[in-house]
Structure 1
Amino acid sequence: MKLKMYFIMLALGLFSFAIQSCDDDDEDAPVSEQLEKAFTNEFGNVAHNWSTRGTNHVASFNQDNTEKEAWFDANGVWLMTETDIAYDALPAPVKQAFEALTQYEGWKRDDVDMLERKGMEKVYVIEIEKGKEELNLFFDVNGNLLKEVADKDDDSFNYLPSELPATVAQLLNEKYAGYKLLEVEVDPVSKLLEVDVLLQSAKLEVCFDVTASYAWVSTSQDVQYVSLPDVVKTAAQNAVKEHAGYELDDEEAEKVVTPTGTYYIVELEMDGKPDIQVEFKEDGTLKQ
């Protein structure tokens, strides 16, 4: 029971800065001189209105003909700026990646936000909806789809920056010097802490075991199929023969590095059927 509660706490944002319930909203709330000065230092003398969200203070304003919300903590530390942007204002790689998605045919595109957050890289959020369902799709500037999150409360608390545990930050600095932080979340199924980072132009997903002092579990990266070892490609071509009607995705694959070795994931596809993922070791044998 204690372990279950531990995971629940993580999933609710244990690593986020002062996330509180939106029931505590207070529009047009007076703020301290410290907060006013912090806003002016960041954005200049722009007309703005304050509200409170839990323990955070949010300034709403218009700048360069765009609507913005800037989040600060109680001490005047800037946390995040959320900017409403037009779809056509998205970087070309983000638009191309979004328009290439096939799993959301029939969904309607809605709002688009640009997020700038303390200690993290800029990301873009495209909201899509179908009936009563709403999803937020997170992309980095290179068009990598970082995550898909159900939009249940139509609030920005989930956008707030995440603070890495010291052990995780140290390991990332040692293994991936110069990395840039994109997203942090606890996977509700695997119970792993997933950290998306940008290393030069490559997007990596680095996973840690929260139950084992944040031990490093794996690092995964999307790669071109042609870059796979020849023995792995041969094994993949043989594997597809065992699944009638399926075709091998010969464009992309996934490389996964773990403390015990490296393996590759390829996908077998067929219209109207779930994809099949097959895992191979570096020598072309199936990963057990």
Structure 2
Amino acid sequence: MKLKIYSALMALMCVIGLQSCSDDDNQPAVPQEAQRAFAEKYPSATQVEWETKSGYYVADFHDNSYEASAWFSPDGVWHMTETDIPFAGLPELVKSAFEQSEYMSWTVDDVDKLERPDMETIYIIEVEKKSQGSEQEMDLYYSAEGILIKAVADMDGGNDHEDLLPSQLPEIILAFINEKYPGSRLVETDMEHGMIEVEIIHDNLSKDVLFDKDNNWVSTSWDIHRSDLPATITQALAESQYSAYTIDDAEYFETPQGNYYLLELEQGEAEVKVKIDPSGKFI
């Protein structure tokens, strides 16, 4: 009987030991270059835990009482830091812009500060609105100056902004942007269907610059508030077959072939998109 009890205890200890080893295995073997780079960038970090994501080594830690995650490549190059901050910690211009926006009455669920090398620091305010048994969630992206870069429906409710990791742009694209939009700051890059989309801030506007697979410029576009449309556009619309329609959305496009306004119009259930060049001519 004693032998059986002893054997059972030894088996239990082995199981516990294996579990401990399994827990240790969850902590990746972080390259010294990444550890050194992290220690140099965040010397006061505490409660540091490492994990791997998409080929990066991610340090989850606390710094100045804030929770943060820093992304490093195996060679120790820093790529991004996401910090969870309180709403009160936002720059005053961002808070002011949000409090004057159409989302001012929504509930703020979370606020993140996103820092990346050679790119614009952005602040992401996650908001939600409950009405009639349904719930809407939006992610609002702001620059430090309070420019609303974009508002995106939050479909998965996550706050891991892996899609905002910086991508290396071809030099020809960077040179084009610097020449055509001097003083602009990079916000985001994305590649889809063979096209390269670069989001920038230029002249206090958030602009989308589109290139084809051969790095040729296709277009640049940005949102235009209805009240900012020039008289030539509103007059052309008033004198057209769409005079009874209301403007739901407006964008301005620059292209190698010429510039134009793209208007989304609606009348009841009917919706239509029209292009009008700066002189007021329908395209």
Q: The TM-score by the shorter chain falls in which range?
A: 0.7 to 0.9
- Give the SS at the match of 2:169: coil
Instruction: Tell me: CA distance 1:195–1:286, structure 2 relative to 1, closer, same or farther (3 Å).
Output: same
Contact 1:236-1:266 at 8 Å conserved across structures: no
Instruction: Output the amino acid matched with 1:138.
Output: Y
In the other structure, the counterpart of 1:32 is 31
Q: 2:254 aligns with which of 236, 253, 257?
A: 257
Instruction: Output the amino acid matched with 1:202.
Output: L
For residues 169 and 109 of structure 1, the distance between their equivalents in structure 2, rounded to whole angstroms, comes to 36
For residues 225 and 150 of structure 1, the distance between their equivalents in structure 2, rounded to whole angstroms, comes to 26
State the TM-score, normalized to the length of structure 1.
0.72
Note if 1:122 corresponds to 2:121: yes
- Greater radius of gyration (CA): 2
Deviation at residue 253 of structure 1 after TM alignment:
4.5
Contact 1:237-1:248 at 8 Å conserved across structures: no
Instruction: Output the amino acid matched with 1:139.
Output: Y
For residues 230 and 106 of structure 1, the distance between their equivalents in structure 2, rounded to whole angstroms, comes to 33
Deviation at residue 202 of structure 1 after TM alignment:
2.8
For residues 150 and 115 of structure 2, the distance between their equivalents in structure 1, rounded to whole angstroms, comes to 15
For residues 72 and 56 of structure 2, the distance between their equivalents in structure 1, rounded to whole angstroms, comes to 6
Deviation at residue 286 of structure 1 after TM alignment:
0.6
- Give the SS at the match of 1:206: strand
User: What is the RMSD computed on CA atoms of the aligned residues?
Assistant: 3.3
Q: Greater shift after overlay, 197-206 or 62-71?
A: 197-206
State the TM-score, normalized to the length of structure 2.
0.73
Q: Greater shift after overlay, 120-129 or 174-183?
A: 120-129
For residues 151 and 157 of structure 1, the distance between their equivalents in structure 2, rounded to whole angstroms, comes to 15
Deviation at residue 255 of structure 1 after TM alignment:
2.2
Higher RCO (CA 8 Å, separation ≥ 6 residues) = 1
Instruction: Tell me: CA distance 1:132–1:202, structure 2 relative to 1, closer, same or farther (3 Å).
Output: closer
Between Structure 1 and Structure 2, how many residues are aligned?
252
Instruction: Output the amino acid matched with 1:220.
Output: S
Instruction: Tell me: CA distance 1:134–1:116, structure 2 relative to 1, closer, same or farther (3 Å).
Output: same
- Post-superposition Cα deviations, 1:60-99, rounded to whole Å, max 9, x if no partner, equal 2111221111111000000100000112333344445545
Contact 2:44-2:63 at 8 Å conserved across structures: no
In the other structure, the counterpart of 1:282 is 278
For residues 262 and 151 of structure 2, the distance between their equivalents in structure 1, rounded to whole angstroms, comes to 19
Q: 1:170 aligns with which of 170, 175, 179?
A: 175
Deviation at residue 168 of structure 1 after TM alignment:
1.7
In the other structure, the counterpart of 1:63 is 63
Pairing 1:89-104 to 2, within 5 Å after superposition: 89-98=89-98, 102=102
Pairing 1:153-164 to 2, within 5 Å after superposition: 154=158, 155-164=160-169
Note if 1:197 corresponds to 2:200: yes
Deviation at residue 195 of structure 1 after TM alignment:
1.1
Instruction: Tell me: CA distance 1:247–1:53, structure 2 relative to 1, closer, same or farther (3 Å).
Output: closer
Q: 2:150 aligns with which of 146, 150, 168?
A: 146
Contact 2:237-2:243 at 8 Å conserved across structures: no
- Give the SS at the match of 2:259: strand
Contact 2:31-2:74 at 8 Å conserved across structures: no
In the other structure, the counterpart of 2:5 is none
- Give the SS at the match of 2:208: strand
In the other structure, the counterpart of 2:84 is 84
Instruction: Tell me: CA distance 1:73–1:55, structure 2 relative to 1, closer, same or farther (3 Å).
Output: same
Instruction: Output the amino acid matched with 2:220.
Output: T
Instruction: Output the amino acid matched with 1:179.
Output: S
In the other structure, the counterpart of 1:20 is none
- Post-superposition Cα deviations, 1:36-63, rounded to whole Å, max 9, x if no partner, equal 2211221114222222224211112111
For residues 216 and 188 of structure 2, the distance between their equivalents in structure 1, rounded to whole angstroms, comes to 18
For residues 43 and 274 of structure 1, the distance between their equivalents in structure 2, rounded to whole angstroms, comes to 55
Instruction: Tell me: CA distance 1:128–1:71, structure 2 relative to 1, closer, same or farther (3 Å).
Output: same
For residues 149 and 109 of structure 1, the distance between their equivalents in structure 2, rounded to whole angstroms, comes to 14
Instruction: Tell me: CA distance 1:54–1:257, structure 2 relative to 1, closer, same or farther (3 Å).
Output: closer
For residues 139 and 106 of structure 1, the distance between their equivalents in structure 2, rounded to whole angstroms, comes to 17
